[in-house]
Chains A and B, each alone.
Chain A
Amino acid sequence: MNKFVDRPRFSCALGGALFTLRALTRAIPIIHASAGCGYNLYTAGNAGAGYLGGGYCGGTGWSSSNVVEREVVFGGSDRLSEQIRSTLELIDGDLFVVVTGCMVEMIGDDIGSVLDEFANEDVPVIAVSTPSFKGNSCDGYDMLLGGLFSDYVRRDAEKRTDTVNLLGLVPGQDAFYKGNLTEIRRLLERLGLRVNTFFGEGETLENLKNASEASLNIVLSDVYGVGAAGVFEKTHGTPYISLPLPVGAVQTSQFLREAADALNLPRDAVERVIKDEEARYYDYLERIADIYNDVDLQRYAVVVGDLNYAPAVSRFVADELGWLPRLAVVTDDLDEGEIRRVEKRFTGWESDVSPLVRFDTDTSSVRRYLQEAWRPGNNERYYDSLSPLFLIGSVFERDLAASLGVPLLTVSFPVTNRIVLNQSYAGYKGGLGLTSDLLSTLIAGR
């Protein structure tokens, strides 16, 4: 979509790249851009991702060439060279990645020849082009990973049939990326697989470097990570499948079956894992069979979120909580093909419920679609209102929720009203977590 955006729920390519690097242990970004880019993007990503913070060397600690008018006029190569040299002197890291902002891309600095000076350093120094005018933060994730897959991942690795990589959750854009990756990895490991997520608990750059051992890339998204998976396939010959982010038992069991099929794993082993996981899951869910039915915890729902969360959460509340999602707004900037892929995720649900689905980047649009999804009252005496309603979205939905007088749970970026640590909304654990968060809101006054 080539237009302005009313309160964008993403930042730019440089922002996506920086938070992807933030999530990689001991990978050090060197920003070649105007002085304010890094700090601006940190402020957005920190708060938006439930206070992810600057981590090891980020936030105001990010190395940045801070180009000014002089470099814009005379070129920024000398300044970049100086900044790389001083960064290597100062900062203890295992991989240094130059990421670029708009100004240096517009003046056309020859970054390749600057990098040649550092070819013989003890640690690798690579560069990825990430100007803001070429994409948003989700694109930045793809650009950055594409660059790492081409220039950092080993080319000589032997494929291992038991190894897969997970892609598709954008660190900092998905506030729960680490919890989500950890849960999906746990489940795939139960199938006997070795799993690289690159950003998960305990992972290091070795996981990334050896990622070419994988015989399959699983992209947990219809869009994010697909570009990078394409680069991976071209460079390292590993194919990929794109499966939606699974939230709760229904979707996770389906995910495990599809992933196992793609890897030709024996079906009965997979079914055993699923049966065991579902038993544990329902052991917990059984607890709330009382309160759910005692006080009628069914709700209508409006879900606003990115293309990973909006379908997954809508389907979860429909297929598992027995709720009635009436409107889902997908807030990404997508092309026609991408829209069709995401639309499919709203069909074929076990509950046979189907919300009105709209694709729109503008925050103000949600209210308009609500009028479309449910006939507004006309002050008639007997009006069947969209009530009781629960709004699941981002912090941008707070005003809407307040004006409707309904509860809000923030799940999708930006999530500035929560502290997110190891929580997950993916997998079986994520389904329980989401149920707990949603229903706790409803019984908070008890």
Chain B
Amino acid sequence: MNYIGLNSPPVREERLGTGIAFGGTTCELRCAQKEGCINRANRAFSQTQGCQFTLSLGMLNSLRNAVTIMHGPIGCGACSIGSVGTSQTFKRLRDPNAEGLVWLNTNLNETDVIAGGENKLREAIRYADREFRPEVICVPISCVPSLIGDDVDSVLAEMQKETAATLIPIHCAGFKTKAMATAYDDVYHGVLRHLVEKPDRREDLVPDDLRDLRQKYQDSRTVNLLNVGSMSRQDETELERLLKAIDLNVRWLPCYSDAEDFRQALSSALNVSICGTHDDYFIEHLKTLYGIPFVIDVMPIGRRNTARWLLQIAEHFDLQDRAQQVIDVEDRELDAAFEQFRPALKDKRVFLGGGEIRVVATAEILQDLGMKVIGFKGHHYDRFAEPLFDSLEDVDDVLFDVATQQPFEQINLVRRLKPDLYIGHTGGGNLSAKQGLPLLPLFGPTYNYMGYSGAFDVARRIRRVLANGQFNKKIAQHCPLPYRASWYEKDPFHYIKDRQEPRGPAPHPAGD
């Protein structure tokens, strides 16, 4: 893969055949994906969702010693308000002296729409550089400047001569794609072009062979673990613990990193993805450009996934035996710890909604506990969820709704399937709660979901939320859902249009 010469990466519908609208069984979906015919479907009714601009901010707003300049009208990036407190807290878990979240908005108005917004951007960059003295200034470019043709790359190249901060354009106009995960490619594209540097960029004044050898050895045992914004520090600690148990060093990228972490990115032996949807663009490029191998496979949620993830890393260093020893011990202990939850959780029915990687990975914990997975809703679908199905049993006939948010479909499905628990992505609680079900967030940056300790934590939290569901039950008794009764009589996938029929198995019979 090499798109590094382009100003911006291709959208995922094109690059990966990513689809955002599908309804059918898991088996049908996987088959349709393999045949490459899920990326054109759409909806005749849609609800608002994330865009690549807002999702980019999930990464950009986490960077330490950095300022984000939203280049667009005043509303773009306003969602940062929602993370102003948490962002600071989480940064300080990595560096106690970290600053809080700082962003500017170039405030493009009607005149700028005609005359262009480049001057306002220059002023904003100057101000950010002098006022905050950050190492990095990231400029995500929204719909309006993209459409009017602001040449942000040239402005930044020219401004780079007068700023101390490294300037990074992020091309992430929301209207370019509905596959919002393209955001990750946009951010990595900017990082690859502007922050990643060859490790030999610094010359030592006094040569020291022994130190160089030590460093080389360290690097040969160091892996870059690529975290995601939805992870917690506890998740990181757990995964770090597992890698340290097989004697490897860990460097965390990209979330909550600073510029220096990226500059060091090439001093490592292996790049390891935690979420397939997040990282392929970055690690494929690091391989093409710098020859660093990578692992991109399963997300380490659930013990089978965690073991597989760990073994793949170990294999690269020829440490499988040690990894297997760790896994055996962990397995035994978790098995014993799970016993206390099994009676209460056995056969409980669960519907999962959110990022397609996480929903399928999290299902493993549920099956492990004897629970029944009865439905999935994934933000999008492409090949990166595939490996995760290896850890699941009997899910071929389970329904899979591919929908970025779109809670109206979820509400219809939940009403039909009648789960005991809904595990879902943030946003939409105001609707989900009105079905009276207990809810567990699919992720949370203050909770542990990953590795062995994460599996235990998810188990005990499920038991906790099932122990008293009064809050949502009372909401449901008093607050109606907004959908007409006729909606519940319709097929949940009624509004999906422009489907391509796979050549393989028969299409979903419930389709309209």
For residue B76, CB closer than 8 A to chain A, the reply is: yes
Count the A-B residue pairs with Cβ separation under 8 angstroms: how many?
246
The reply to whether the CB of A63 lies closer than 8 angstroms to some CB of chain B is: yes
User: Do A63 and B105 touch across chains, with their CB atoms under 8 A apart?
Assistant: no
Question: Which of A33-41, A184-192, A215-223, A436-444 is found at the contact surface with chain B?
Answer: A33-41
- Residues of chain B within 8 A of A3, CB atoms compared: 107, 120, 123
Stretch from A65-73, A226-234, A376-384 that touches the partner = A65-73
Number of interface residues of B (CB under 8 A): 74
Give chain B residues whose Cβ lies under 8 Å from the Cβ of A62.
47-48
Please tell me if A247 contacts chain B, counting CB pairs below 8 Å: no
Q: Which chain A residue has the least Cβ–Cβ distance from B410?
A: A60
A residues contacting the other copy or chain, number (CB 8 A): 74
A63 touches B75 (CB 8 A): no
Contact of A102 with B483 in the complex, beta carbons under 8 Å: no
Chain A nearest Cβ from B181, distance in angstroms: 13
Distance in Å: Cβ of A345 to nearest Cβ of chain B? 25
Contact indicator B84/A396 (Cβ below 8 Å) = yes
Are A399 and B104 also in contact (CB < 8 A) when A90-B484, A133-B109 are?
no
Complex CA distance for A115 and B5, rounded to whole angstroms: 45
Measured between beta carbons, the chain A residues less than 8 angstroms from B73 are 12, 102, 131-133
- A299 CB-CB contact with B under 8 Å: no
Please name all residues of chain A whose beta carbon is closer than 8 Å to the beta carbon of B78 when the two chains form the complex.
8, 11-12, 15, 40-41, 43-44
User: Which has the most chain B C-beta neighbours within 10 Å: A34, A86, A131?
Assistant: A34
Is B174 touching A8 in the complex (CB atoms < 8 A)? Answer: no
A63 in contact with B484 given A4-B107, A7-B102, A12-B75 (CB within 8 Å): no
Beta-carbon contact of A133 and B113 below 8 Å: yes
| Inter-chain contact A93/B482, CB cutoff 8 Å | yes
| Complex Cα–Cα for A104 and B120 (A) | 23
**A69 and B45 within 8 A (CB):** no
Q: Are B47 and A86 in contact (CB under 8 A)?
A: no
A398-B88 Cα distance, complex, nearest whole Å: 11
A238 on the B face (CB < 8 A): no
A78-96 vs B, CB cutoff 8 Å, 1 = contact: the mask equals 0000110011011111000
Docked pose: A357 CA to B431 CA in angstroms: 44
Known A39-B427, A69-B175; contact A4-B484, beta-carbon cutoff 8 A:
no
Given A43-B81, A91-B482 in contact, is the A63-B45 Cβ separation under 8 Å?
Answer: yes
Among the listed stretches A49-57, A252-260, A307-315, A319-327, which one makes contact with chain B, having 4 or more residues with CB under 8 Å of it? A49-57
* Shortest CB distance A371–B (Å): 15
Residue pair B54, A36 in contact (C-beta under 8 Å): yes
29 CB contacts below 8 A, A to B, read A4-B120, A10-B74, A34-B51, A35-B46, A35-B174, A36-B54, A39-B48, A39-B54, A43-B427, A44-B75, A46-B82, A53-B429, A60-B405, A60-B431, A61-B482, A63-B48, A83-B46, A89-B487, A102-B113, A106-B147, A106-B148, A131-B73, A132-B73, A132-B144, A133-B110, A395-B85, A398-B85, A399-B99, A399-B100
Binding site for B on A (CB under 8 A): 2-8, 10-15, 28, 31, 34-44, 46-48, 53-69, 72, 82-83, 86-87, 89-93, 102-103, 106, 131-134, 136-137, 333, 364, 395-396, 398-399, 414, 416-417
Q: Which 3 residue pairs spanning A and B have beta carbons closest together?
A: A36-B51, A12-B75, A38-B48
* 13 new A-B contacts at CB < 8 Å, known A4-B107, A91-B482, A414-B84: A4-B104, A28-B482, A35-B50, A35-B51, A60-B428, A61-B407, A61-B431, A69-B175, A89-B486, A132-B144, A364-B131, A399-B99, A414-B81
